[in-house]
Chain A
Amino acid sequence: MKILVAVKRVIDYNVQIRVKEDGSGVVTDNVKMSTNPPDDNAVEEAVKIKEAGKATEIVAITVGEEKAQETVRKALAVGADRGIHVKVDGIIEPLAVSKILQKVVEKEKPDLVFMGKQAIDDDCNQTGQMLAALLNWPQATFASKIEVKEKSLEVTREVDEGLETIEVNVPAIVTCDLRLNEPRYASLPNIMKAKKKPIEQINVSDLGVDTNPRIEQIKVEEPPKRKAGIKVANVEELVQKLKNEAKVI
């Protein structure tokens, strides 16, 4: 089986983001960037499947500006075999990303496409499901366990009520939850080796995909601040405050 894994470069999850004063977005200059966390789980799962002898090749792909390549390089360092970088500048919506991925899937013909369930920047949670729709492939979203069978996957999904298990025929799209696995760190020798692995660059204009935004971002603002609270001295005071001041118990 061949696995295509999509990774996205986002502001690091530990960074407290700042909204630009002109309301045009959030500050990204001189801010630490990294791979979207559940995309790391997607890469890890692909590598584990290959290590188990059930996959033959892993191709990591990203869609974004020049520096987005870093995320592909990281995937190569933990075990992906080669990379693809579709170069595009500016805001690109999940619908456009899924159309780009569709073109690449038609060329690369993977059996599986893995990616994180949600990007932690725009919090859209759309791309995997959209790609599945465009390809008319089955989708297994929010995966916390994947069992590879001969021509199908049995996937356990995290849903609001608990867990759901479905079986999807290959080819299929899987979007990965953070609990799917524990992403490994790349070793220094593997980071060095990854520098020699090929990354194919594709200009988005060569794919013939309409990437114009359909959604206008009118403004971005800070959410309303909570008023500062107090520290209570002990449990008795806490209960009194909750009873008599906040009146919630």
Chain B
Amino acid sequence: MSVLLIAEHNNKEVKPFTYNAISAASQIDQDLHVLVIGFNADEVAQSISQVPSVKKVIQVDNEIYENYIAENYTSAIIKQADNYSHIVCSANTFGKNLMPRVAALLDTSQVSDIIKVISSDTFLRPIYAGNAFATVKSNDPKKCVTIRPTSFDPAPTTGGSAEIVKADAADKTETTQFVKREEIKSDRPELGTARVVVSGGRGMQSGENFKLIQQVADKLNAAIGASRAAVDAGYITNDHQVGQTGKVVVPDLYIAVGISGAIQHLAGMKESKVIVAINKDGEAPIFSVADYGLEADLFEALPQFLSELNKLNTIQK
């Protein structure tokens, strides 16, 4: 039995969640190989070879992989799949897009978004927006699994020296063309891995008012999140959305401002260590998951919160 993990990267750097996925994959089986599919991605392969739990790195390098087109990635993975009992990657938009395509070609029923490895064939996964947990056992001879990165600690990144083996590229798809990618650059911590997240909802009333959130986030070195309502209303871009169909976050501190707390939003944040809710509606469901609830008008509370934070001598980073 060996596990093949599909690395997520941008051809230069390993995406942080790959290390969480490595942790999960090594819990499935110790014989863990990582497949780095990319273009001019030698640095990525090097970085991954230094992860102590990785036994081997397989690098497939070709210009057709520059933009992570799922069809091209899938062919490259299928070429390697014979040697492995499990194929694993993160359950973020990268893995969600890719893994089912692989699984179908292997005639495997995929296990999506696991939060715990119980044994090599049995996993825990949330269903119904995390309102139930299902223990599931895969009976397929070859298993395809995506893992929820925030449910596993990242693997140590240094100290190992796995061999890097080059493998040939597979066929290129002629039917999908990459056009462009609009990444929102920010100096803030990434939403998925930030220690503190400050999120705004429909209660913010406008995109302009998100400045109040930004000021608090700056002070706390926090990432900025949002409810679907706020994204739908155009207050903020989609990459900030927390929830069932957005990102799942588990920061040490999650501050929900003007968010009512729909089931779908709670699905993305209720595992956070400490939750603060600021909302003027005392009956809002967000208070049911909040450790500290403040029933107040956010337009008064946020400036006060900022000034109280400014009074503190030190703030943990």
Contact = CB atoms under 8 A, between A and B. Distances in A.
Interface of A: 11, 13-14, 16-17, 19, 26, 38, 93-96, 98, 117-118, 120-134, 137-142, 144, 154, 157-169, 172, 177-179, 213-223, 226, 229-232, 234-236, 238-239, 241-243, 246, 248-249
21 contacts: A14-B263, A129-B100, A138-B71, A142-B96, A154-B179, A158-B238, A159-B93, A159-B94, A160-B247, A161-B183, A164-B180, A167-B177, A167-B179, A169-B175, A218-B136, A231-B282, A231-B292, A234-B294, A243-B312, A248-B274, A249-B315
A95 B176 contact: no
B165 interface: no
B122 A218 contact: yes
Nearest to B253: A248
Interface string B182-216: 11100000001000100000000000000000000
B134 A220 contact: yes
Contact of B289 (A26, A134, A139, A226): A226
B64 interface: no
Interface string B98-131: 1111111101111111000000001000111111
Nearest to B277: A229
A246 B101 contact: no
B276 interface: yes
Interface of B: 69-71, 74, 92-94, 96-105, 107-113, 122, 126-140, 173-184, 192, 196, 220, 228, 231-232, 237-239, 244-245, 247, 252-253, 263-264, 270, 273-276, 282, 287, 289-296, 301, 304-305, 308-309, 312, 315-316
Contact of A214 (B109, B127, B133, B252): B109
B265 to A, nearest CB: 12
Contacts of B273: 248
Given A26-B128, A217-B136, A93 B292 contact: no
Given A122-B127, A160-B94, A235 B291 contact: no
Contact of A123 (B182, B184, B244, B247): B244
A129 B132 contact: no
Contacts of B312: 239, 243, 249
Nearest to B278: A238
Contacts of A242: 253, 274, 276, 292
B181 A162 contact: yes
A206 B312 CA distance: 71
Nearest to A10: B128
B74 A133 contact: yes
B103 A95 contact: yes
B4 to A, nearest CB: 18
Contacts of A38: 245
Given A120-B129, A133-B104, A159-B93, A179 B231 contact: yes
A196 to B, nearest CB: 35
Given A160-B247, A222-B132, 12 more contacts: A95-B108, A130-B101, A141-B70, A164-B178, A164-B180, A167-B176, A215-B136, A220-B134, A221-B133, A229-B291, A231-B293, A249-B220
Given A232-B293, A248-B253, A19 B132 contact: yes
Given A142-B97, A220-B127, A117 B245 contact: yes
B270 A226 contact: yes
B126 to A, nearest CB: 7
